[in-house]
């Protein structure tokens, strides 16, 4: 299948973002088994070493855990998953505000826009 990757961001980071997004949206739920490194590499069309790095980084972020002989699984630590969700939410809001401010809109205009769109 393969994915289309952005040129200005490392592929491994894009895969981490993709898997993290799946976790936040609960497409991948706590305790779910991830595909093997080889399977996922073939699925997304990248080198297995890239996927190995993705899994290793996500393990260091405590988002997945690797069980010897069984594979890699989404953490069941709800506190850690909530931190991921909160962090992503904060990043998205900061990015949105920075982008809108770059066009010269005031904070009051941004707040009014958000209120109007939420209704």
Length of the chain: 119
Cβ(73)–Cβ(65) below 8 Å: yes
Global pTM reads 0.86
Cβ partners under 8 Å of residue 37, min gap 6:
48, 51, 52, 55
Sole residue written with tokens 């939420």: 118
Question: pLDDT truncated to tens, each residue of the chain (119 aa)?
Answer: 577 899 999 999 999 999 999 999 999 999 999 999 999 999 999 999 999 999 999 999 999 999 999 999 999 999 999 999 999 999 999 999 999 999 999 999 999 989 999 98
Rounded to a whole number of angstroms, the distance between the first and last alpha carbons of the chain is: 39
Check residue 56 and give its pLDDT: 97
Q: What is the pLDDT of residue 4?
A: 86
Separation between Cα atoms, residue 76 and residue 3, nearest integer Å: 28
């Amino acid at each position: 299948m393969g994915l289309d990757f952005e040129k200005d961001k490392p592929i491994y980071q894009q895969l981490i973002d993709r898997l993290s997004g799946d976790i936040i949206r609960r497409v991948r739920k706590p305790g779910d088994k991830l595909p093997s490194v080889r399977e996922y590499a073939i699925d997304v069309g990248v080198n297995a070493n890239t996927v190995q790095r993705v899994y290793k980084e996500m393990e260091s972020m405590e988002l997945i855990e690797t069980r010897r002989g069984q594979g890699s699984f989404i953490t069941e630590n709800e506190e850690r998953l909530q931190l991921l969700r909160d962090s992503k939410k904060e990043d998205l809001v900061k990015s949105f505000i920075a982008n809108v401010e770059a066009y010269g809109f005031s904070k009051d205009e941004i707040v009014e826009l958000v209120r109007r769109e939420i209704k």
